[in-house]
Structure 1
């Protein structure tokens, strides 16, 4: 990953970028279940799933979130860091074999209320499957150093 300084002033409303994709595998789901302790049948029991709403196993929402966000980590910005996430919604299920990618749009910028030398940049994340369907949305908040501070 490249390391470059991308200051608060460098982010422009409406700018977008699209990540590469990742296919969700059975191994991803099994590993995530083991890491989190979430062994709900929706994720790990194919027989159970055949008799219920989705008809097949679905990826954990937290797995979709982790992969979707991870795909956005394309460079190290030494003057910004993650401040958190807002408005997270799981819109559609992600199945084994689905390939997801993330579209990042700069949707808001504002001064930090307590630190005059920093601002908050909101990246709206839209995670999309191979069919073009949005499966998850969230707002990623970045705390960014101002150039002139």
Structure 2
């Protein structure tokens, strides 16, 4: 779906939430293969059975990638991702957990380099099936202003 929303159209506090996605063992294996991260924390069930978690934990980068991917449902042709800041892995995610993502417009600022755009800072929270935040970060968008259109 494509929806054009300019910088001025975004209201602080507006929020949206994605559908859920259950994490599988296949996700662990594929992510390890893509990244080369075969640490026992993610791949060795016997090693992790003796840990405080009692089982393998998902790669934080995988939870980030899937959590952000869940938000990719609307295309705004006048907005572009500028990146992510303040990424934290708050709680572990396990095989069988279902995650979803909540995105909230947190603040807006002028772009220091370009007058025709502004910056939107979104709070991104990935939640598990128990409504616990497992990952949090800030997503920064560069969005055209109406006057520039």
List 4+ stretches of structure 1 deviating above 4 A: none
Deviates most, 50-59 or 23-32 = 50-59
SS of match in other structure, 1:33: helix
Counterpart of 1:119? Answer: 118
TM-score calculated relative to the size of structure 2: 0.97
TM-score calculated relative to the size of structure 1: 0.97
Counterpart of 1:97? Answer: 96
Unpaired runs of 5+ in structure 1?
none
Unpaired runs of 5+ in structure 2?
none
By how many angstroms is 1:53 displaced?
2.1
Q: Distance in 2 between matches of 1:107 and 1:53?
A: 35
Counterpart of 2:146? Answer: 147
Q: Determine whether 1:134 maps to 2:147.
A: no
Q: Distance in 1 between matches of 2:5 and 2:44?
A: 45
Q: Distance in 1 between matches of 2:128 and 2:145?
A: 35
Matches within 5 A, 1:1-149: 2-149=1-148
Q: Distance in 1 between matches of 2:28 and 2:76?
A: 30
| Cα RMSD (Å) | 0.6
By how many angstroms is 1:28 displaced?
0.4
Listed one character per residue, the Cα deviations across residues 25-70 of structure 1 (whole Å, up to 9, x for unaligned) are 0000100000000000000100010011211011100000001101
